[in-house]
């Protein structure tokens, strides 16, 4: 049985809830509590959805679909990098083009929410926004601190869904309504369990931590006025305008 967990703001209050159709049932505590209903309900249209969890850290996998490799050799193990918490962005809120950026790209991805004991608690949609010139250009930075970590470069949501077969979900990215990426998560080179095992050999994973699992196919430049949608089967649509 699947459950859709959301984090939302109603008036001045921020809460977690379980989404059932168009109704949010508020729950006590967060994602890892007893999920006891408070009895309070909200219509989805009457609240502001926020990124659905509050992680301690964000890691991401590079080169995790063969379709994204191009001429590059497939990695022998998951290749990891960090994104800062400050890069998170809510569903519906804008991806801001950073100062001096000229080649900012979308990357639609399945995102794993880590649970107790290095398990997969649930999954959600993410966009690993990337500035290619800062990542790979002739004047690239020593690390991807701004290429992958600028403010708003980690849109997330709309819900964390439990109980899905996250190793076999269709991912589709649309730019201004046109499909620009479409592939099943069954094509990941390294599945969630393999990635978690790799990370946890050196870095302690805690409940709520996020892992962006990689993007398929090719990506392209984002421009102010664009709208990016990342849709994953069983989860929903993460939609963000570009400014």
Q: What is the DSSP string of 61-72?
A: EES-BGGGTTTS
Residue 213 has a pLDDT of 98
Is residue 33 predicted with pLDDT exceeding 80? yes
pLDDT digits (tens, 9 = 90+) for 225-241: 999 999 999 999 999 99
Q: What is the rounded average pLDDT of the residues 181-204?
A: 97
Q: Which domains does the chain have, with CATH numbers?
A: 3-49 (2.30.30.370), 58-241 (3.90.850.10)
The pLDDT score that the predictor gives to residue 70 is 77
Structure tokens of 32? 């890892």
Q: How confident is the model at residue 148 (pLDDT cuts 50, 70, 90)?
A: very high
Specify the pLDDT at position 164: 98
Nearby residues of 241 by Cβ (< 8 Å), 6 or more positions away? 94, 95, 225, 226, 227, 228
DSSP-assigned beta bridge partners for residue 80? 61
- Phi and psi for 233 in degrees, rounded to 5? -50, 125
Judge whether residue 68 has pLDDT over 90. Answer: no
Q: What angle do CA 230, 195, 128 make, to 5 degrees?
A: 30
User: 73 pLDDT exceeds 90?
Assistant: no
Q: What is the pLDDT of residue 46?
A: 96
Across 64-73, 122-131, 188-197, least confident range: 64-73
């Amino acid at each position: 049985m699947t459950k859709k967990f959301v984090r939302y703001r109603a008036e001045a209050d921020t809460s977690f809830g379980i989404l059932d159709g168009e109704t949010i049932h508020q729950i006590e505590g967060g994602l890892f509590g007893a999920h006891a209903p408070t009895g309070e309900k909200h219509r989805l249209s009457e609240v502001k959805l926020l990124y659905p969890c509050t992680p301690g850290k964000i890691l991401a996998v590079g080169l995790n679909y063969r379709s994204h490799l191009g001429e590059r050799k497939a990695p022998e193990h998951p290749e990891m990098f960090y994104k800062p918490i400050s890069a998170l962005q809510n569903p519906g809120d804008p991806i801001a083009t950073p100062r001096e950026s000229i080649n900012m790209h979308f990357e639609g991805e399945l995102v794993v929410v880590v649970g107790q004991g290095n398990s997969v608690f649930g999954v959600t949609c993410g966009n690993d926004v990337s500035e290619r010139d800062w990542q790979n250009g002739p004047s690239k930075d020593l690390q991807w601190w701004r290429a992958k970590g600028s403010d708003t470069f980690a849109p997330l949501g709309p819900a964390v869904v439990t109980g899905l077969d996250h190793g076999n979900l269709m991912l589709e990215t649309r730019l201004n309504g046109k499909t620009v990426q479409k592939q099943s998560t069954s094509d990941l080179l390294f599945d969630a369990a393999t990635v978690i095992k790799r990370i946890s050999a050196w870095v302690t994973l805690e409940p709520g931590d996020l892992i962006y699992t990689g993007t398929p196919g090719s990506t392209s430049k984002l421009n102010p006025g664009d709208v990016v949608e990342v849709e994953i089967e069983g989860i929903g649509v993460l939609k963000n305008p570009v400014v």
